[in-house]
Amino acid sequence: MKKKLIELLENSIRTCSEKGILEIGELPFIEVEIPREESHGDYSCTASMVLASSQGRNPRKIAEQIVENIHDSNNMLAKIEIAGPGFINFFIEKSMWFALLKEVDEMGDRYGGSNLGKGKKVQVEFVSANPTGPLHIGHARGAVIGDVVANILESTGYSVFREYYINDAGTQMDVLGRSVLLRYLELLGKEIDFSPECYQGEYVKELAGEIFKEYGDEYLAKGEKDAMKVFTDYAVNSILYGIKEDLNTFGVVFDCYFSEKELYKDDGVTKLLAELQEKGFIYEEGNALWFKTTDFGDEKDRVVVRENGEPTYFAADIAYHRDKYSRGFDTVIDIWGADHHGYIPRMYAGIHALGKEKEALKIILVQLVSLLRAGKPVSMSTRGGEFVTLREVVDEVGRDAARYNFLMRRSDSHLDFDLELAKEQSNENPVYYVQYAHARISSIMRLAHERDYNIPGFGDIDLKFLTLPEEITLTKEIARFPEVVEGSARVLEPHRLTFYLNELASLFHSYYNKNRVISDDPGLSMARLFLVKSIRTVLKNALRLLGVSAPERM
RNA sequence: GGGCGAUUAGCUCAGUUGGAUAGAGCGCUGGUCUCCGGAACCAGAGGCCGCGGGUUCAAGUCCCGCAUCGCCUACCA
């Protein structure tokens, strides 16, 4: 609807320009929005005021000219008003709104999707937690946001690839292996010095126990070097297996787990460094190699090869991103914890050096989560190893409530996650509010069936029965859904969907309370059944994007 | 010290990229139920959009300064 309107406006302005009424070169971007106030119409346009300054003329006059030259061949407009300083307010013909329901009926499960990103390949890299311990609650938020961003992009026509980057190289791996080895020795009665640098969690002891079960005390005698390799590999594999399993139960599935080791295997990092050196981005100082990230707006230059000859994590990361682009992705989306925000300019410097535009990389920052229980903070210190794992949270509050709660805020704002609230099956828990609307409609459908109604399609109903203002409001809200999906795809903000869902559910509950869907009047009942069915389609499609179930019964 | 971000109702937060009289949920006050699922609905109270300047037809939104809070500031990953 919005698109059609913009088209009309563009044509009108073009006509004005041809007639010499307006002097414009390029067609300006025309903004059409839904006004807050209903009396201001269904849509409102501000173009005349934007044009006024460049034309040096009264915006109301310009608005008049634009309105005069609108050629509404489909009679979609009931009324056009010029208001205030120069707003052009459009009132859409009621029948046009209801006609949109045809699209819902035809598209069904696909309603809400579009081809915005057709032909574009996007990679979303998320979670990417180090395989040094199980996923905790902090990772869960990033996991859901990444997953849903990917879903949204997919439904708007992008070809999407989900990837998890495994940091399985570097010193932390040694620390992990050593931690497990020490616990193993401890298990066998040795005195150990378990330094605070080591991973403290209970799972380290469990890993040591598993190894003991399998190999007995065989590594007591063997050299540390042999033991370290076996212990490290065992630990990483085992932890990674657990991570994948946890993500799976959370509904998060990746196309690829990319190992950092791969980058070193075929000399990716070395080649990259040579390339950067050739392009003149590298200099030597204090026996280390530095990348001139300040050329790209970073606050200081960064080391890529240390004094001891080892490349840094940053060097590997640039190589990793080069690898991503070489795989043909037009856009790469990284989802990071907000504590990494200082890393952003560096990464952009990296991709600039690779010859990529800024648009080729998008970074979503996810703020940390404060875990609460009935309003009281739950301790989450990683140092002591007593964090709350993703699995524990999902087990306790369920997948739907957990996912939905992580999507209720902008990703870059703090989130309080209250275990008791998330579990509660009450009006304090928005996920049930939305799911309830879906279950309620399903229940109406069941009753309709009992009363021998066929569930109507668009062709089976007479639109004249839909006369109530709230029926138009509901239809408009349904019609807005594809715009909401597109909008959240454009700015990568999944939380817009939960807000939308809340509004739609609220409108439905209100309608339901005031009006009967199934009545003695067959024509009216059919029309309303169809409207309500359309709402259910949208609820279901939106919930599917969020990875939350849409239950028929609750 | 420098950098990044935040500051909107009692609380937790939205605010469609600069639009008309700033919204939602919770909480609070008062109501609705013979009826398709009360996990629901309706009404009301509640605001100096942190403070001060600026930009323009128009600022919660953009720019500058200040205050408070958080994060970053490794030849760790």
* Whole-angstrom distance, CA of residue A282 vs CA of residue A91: 61
User: All domains of chain A, ordered by start, with CATH?
Assistant: 2-92 (3.30.1360.70), 126-254+367-423 (3.40.50.620), 427-546 (1.10.730.10)
Q: What is the pLDDT of residue A94?
A: 86
Q: Which two tokens stand for residue A220?
A: 């007591």
Q: What is the pLDDT of residue A351?
A: 93
Q: What is the pLDDT of residue A311?
A: 93
A133: CB within 7 A of chain B nucleic strand: no
| The residue type at A447 | L
Closest nucleotide (CA of A511 to C1')?
Answer: B41
What is the spatial distance, in angstroms and rounded to an integer, between the CA atom of A411 and the C1' atom of B48? 29
Is the Cβ–Cβ distance between A45 and A9 less than 8 Å?
yes
* Whole-angstrom distance, CA of residue A13 vs CA of residue A24: 9
DSSP 3-state of A150: helix
Q: What is the pLDDT of residue A207?
A: 96
Q: What is the pLDDT of residue A383?
A: 44
* Whole-angstrom distance, CA of residue A118 vs CA of residue A108: 20
Task: For residue A258, give the H/E element and its range.
Answer: strand A256-259
User: Which A residues between 3 and 62 have a beta carbon under 7 A from any strand B atom?
Assistant: 31, 33-37, 39-41, 44, 46, 49-50, 52-53, 59
Is the Cβ–Cβ distance between A91 and A45 less than 8 Å?
no
Q: Which pLDDT tens digit goes with each residue over A149-163?
A: 999 999 999 999 999
Work out the angle between the directed axes of helices A224-249 and A390-397 (0-180°, nearest 10). 30
DSSP 3-state of A110: helix
- Mean pLDDT split into 10-residue runs, chain A, 554 residues: 84 84 72 83 88 77 88 88 88 88 94 93 96 90 96 97 94 92 93 88 93 93 89 96 96 96 90 93 93 88 93 94 96 93 92 91 91 76 62 91 93 87 76 95 95 92 92 93 93 95 95 94 95 97 97 94
| Backbone angle region of A402, left / alpha / beta, with phi > 0 → left and psi within -120 to 50 → alpha | alpha
What is the spatial distance, in angstroms and rounded to an integer, between the CA atom of A432 and the C1' atom of B27? 19
Q: What is the pLDDT of residue A536?
A: 97
Q: What is the pLDDT of residue A386?
A: 55
User: Which A residues between 262 and 321 have a beta carbon under 7 A from any strand B atom?
Assistant: 285-288, 299, 303, 306-308, 310, 312-314
What is the spatial distance, in angstroms and rounded to an integer, between the CA atom of A434 and the C1' atom of B31? 25
What is the spatial distance, in angstroms and rounded to an integer, between the CA atom of A357 and the C1' atom of B66? 37
- Cα Rg of chain A (Å, integer): 29
* Whole-angstrom distance, CA of residue A380 vs CA of residue A363: 26
Question: Around Cβ A94, how many Cβ atoms within 10 Å?
Answer: 17
A127: CB within 7 A of chain B nucleic strand: no
Is the Cβ–Cβ distance between A48 and A90 less than 8 Å?
no
* Whole-angstrom distance, CA of residue A197 vs CA of residue A220: 23
* Whole-angstrom distance, CA of residue A234 vs CA of residue A208: 10
Q: Which pLDDT tens digit goes with each residue over A322-352?
A: 999 999 999 999 999 988 988 999 999 999 9
DSSP for residue A170: S
What is the spatial distance, in angstroms and rounded to an integer, between the CA atom of A456 and the C1' atom of B35? 23
Q: What is the pLDDT of residue A372?
A: 83
Q: What is the pLDDT of residue A531?
A: 96
What global pTM score does this model have?
0.94
User: Which A residues between 364 and 383 have a beta carbon under 7 A from any strand B atom?
Assistant: none
Work out the angle between the directed axes of helices A495-514 and A522-546 (0-180°, nearest 10). 160
Strand B positions closer than 7 A to protein CB: 2-6, 12-27, 35-37, 39-42, 56-58, 71-77
Question: Around Cβ A416, how many Cβ atoms within 10 Å?
Answer: 13
A237: CB within 7 A of chain B nucleic strand: no
Q: What is the pLDDT of residue A456?
A: 93
* Whole-angstrom distance, CA of residue A207 vs CA of residue A273: 37
A108: CB within 7 A of chain B nucleic strand: no
Is the Cβ–Cβ distance between A407 and A497 less than 8 Å?
yes
Q: What is the pLDDT of residue A382?
A: 47
Is the Cβ–Cβ distance between A24 and A30 less than 8 Å?
no
User: Which A residues between 387 and 416 have a beta carbon under 7 A from any strand B atom?
Assistant: 408-410, 412-416
